[in-house]
Amino acid sequence: MKLAAVALSAAALSAAAGAAWAQDTVKVGALMIDSGPLAAFYQYSVAGLETAVVEINEAGGINGRPVELVSMTYSGTPEAALQTATRLVKNDNVAAITGMIPTAVALAISGRATALDTIIIDPLSAAVPRCNQNYFRIKASSEMLGASYKAFLAQNPVESWDTIAGDTTSGHDNAESFAEDVKELGGVVHKQLFTPVPTPDFGTYITQLNQEPAKGLLAIIYGSDAVTFAKQQQQFGLLDKYDVVLGNNFAIPAVLPAMGEAALGVIQNVSYIPQVEDQEVRKFADAFAKIAGHDPDDVAFDMYVSMIALAQAMNKAGTEDASAVSTALEGLVIDSPVGPLEMRAEDHQLTRPYIFAEVVPAAPDSGKVVDYEIKTIIPAADYMPPPADCSM
């Protein structure tokens, strides 16, 4: 386990702080994972948090003091997360915790937020953990993801669908939920194929999909498997045989460069892409690029939002006391690049729009092969499931 305080540039601090900030700081802990399957999100996560810290400090900090981000790496297991969170609170005196909190960790750590007497704000997991007065969620839940697809289908009716998904619990759950929505809206799902994870050769499944394809295809394939499937189907022109191809965590920003032209035409559901910002005033995207050297993705954006939410709540409360900050977070509305985001008081879930964007050829001077073009934005009011039944 290694501890590293994220250092801000002297210029950024001096511009916002001044001599009065020679005092103490407000420390926020970040649980980070830099090895294993989630390591691909590490650099984006760090830069997203750093972008927020610079913005917060340039605006005056939290309750008149600069933010100090204390980043601690851990193995990604629930046990390690609990130990690391406890160390951050007890030894480093952080006022809140955010960072890379995958689903298994979220389910374990959410119930400890009150015992640790700290705010835990989760920007990564899609699970809906048990409710806790000090636990808040930034990322859209699995239920929200499914509901956004239903809203898209209602706007863009397609009479028949095929689905291909990884043979995992989430793959089956997402495929079944999609099939139920299609049926409710008057359509039908023909083929439902489930592939081993990982799958080095999708040939058998591509052959099956090629036989009398439906009007639409939903691909629920993640990570390196998504790249493999996209590349292999390209040899047979499979995606071109469908009128609509939807991606569920398929052609996401993290893997799109590796997919390249093989992903052309896919409509991917994303919670943030730089195209959603005014191209003349890309507040978050340009600030992130100054730190990272490239555009942000949705993971980076959610990390950024978690820090901004904490800062706004602490300034609203006038204190870093967990109980007061929890109250301030409930119902808090954040003015973000994708529009107003409200932290629902009933279940501590951030409400947010969903973006459906098509993969298209990139602009010649962009340095990219492919990029996104927004097809539609589903407002939170048009798809958000009701609050979870919570007892804080």
pLDDT tens digit sequence for 346-391: 999 999 999 999 999 999 988 899 999 999 999 999 999 998 777 7
User: pTM of the entire structure?
Assistant: 0.87
Q: What is the DSSP letter of 269?
A: E
pLDDT higher than 60, residue 1: no
The pLDDT value given to residue 12: 43
The pLDDT value given to residue 169: 84
Do the strands 160-166 and 333-336 form a parallel or antiparallel pair, or are they unpaired?
A: unpaired
Q: Which of 9-13, 49-53, 86-90 has the lowest mean pLDDT?
A: 9-13
The pLDDT value given to residue 23: 55
pLDDT higher than 50, residue 20: no
Sequence-distant (6+) residues with CB within 8 A of 1 are: 72, 73, 74, 80, 84
pLDDT tens digit sequence for 117-176: 999 999 998 877 678 999 999 999 888 999 999 999 999 999 999 999 999 888 998 999
pLDDT higher than 60, residue 309: yes
What's the CATH code, domain 143-270+355-382? 3.40.50.2300
State the Cα–Cα distance between residues 233 and 164, nearest whole angstrom. Answer: 12
* Cα–chain center distance at 259: 20
| 65 token code pair | 């003091």
pLDDT higher than 80, residue 13: no
Helices 169-184 and 142-155 pack at an angle, to 10 degrees, of 30
State the Cα–Cα distance between residues 359 and 378, nearest whole angstrom. Answer: 18
* Cα–chain center distance at 32: 15
CB 126 within 8 A of CB 140: yes
Mean pLDDT on 210-218: 97
The pLDDT value given to residue 392: 67
Which H or E element spans position 338? none
pLDDT higher than 60, residue 18: no
Helix (H, G, I), strand (E, B) or coil at 87: helix
CATH superfamily of 26-140+280-352: Response regulator (3.40.50.2300)
Q: Provide the residue ranges of all domains of the chain, joining segments of one domain with +.
A: 26-140+280-352, 143-270+355-382
3-state helix, strand, coil in the chain (%, to 5): 40, 25, 35
CB 122 within 8 A of CB 140: no
Query: Is the Cα torsion angle 104, 106, 111, 113 positive or negative in sign?
Result: positive
